[in-house]
Chain A
């Protein structure tokens, strides 16, 4: 299973865009990139996923490089409630492989007033 590398922590000013990078240089062709976040003392929450095209939903945008070796999660207008640990995970799209989700340490994002 592909592993990911994320910065340990980041800061962002409230109202500005937060750009969270993730390296996944060993990603294989059938693996998607998923992003979750975990607010302190709560369960992780799904944000977005993608294969090779850029994706956008009501929470965030996901930019995947053409070689798929890295991606960036973008929170366009960060709020204080976006302060959380953000996890980048790669896994096959096949649902039967859910148990192989590999959770790293993620990026601790602090949104400052």
Chain B
């Protein structure tokens, strides 16, 4: 079945270490997005990519990095520069072609990162 997969579901890391979260989709979507969610808050956009080899900063990109070498994959690295990395991270993909046709967002199941 087509879908979007995030791994791992839970991740523990020591403070000061970089960590990479995986996001893979087989929906043939051009656009992929990373969000962060903190307890009791809405989703905040970290980075997004609308095409391979191109990505843009979202609202809270500081301390994060991404790459988009393949259409199917959009990994997110949480670097040691991120001051408060403990959060729930969500990856989403959209069919982002400008055709005026409705597209819905497909989300992965999330990765809960805890930094100790």
Residues of A participating in the B interface, judged by any CB pair closer than 8 Å: 32, 34, 36, 41-46, 49, 87, 93-96, 98-99, 101, 103-106
Contacts and interface: CB of A to CB of B under 8 A. Distances in A.
B43 A105 contact: no
Contacts, number: 69
How many B residues touch the partner, as a band?
35 or more
B98 interface: yes
A98 B33 contact: yes
Interface stretch (B12-20, B68-76, B78-86, B87-95): B87-95
Contact of B105 (A32, A44, A104): A44
A43 B31 contact: no
Contact of A99 (B58, B90, B107): B58
Contacts of B88: 41
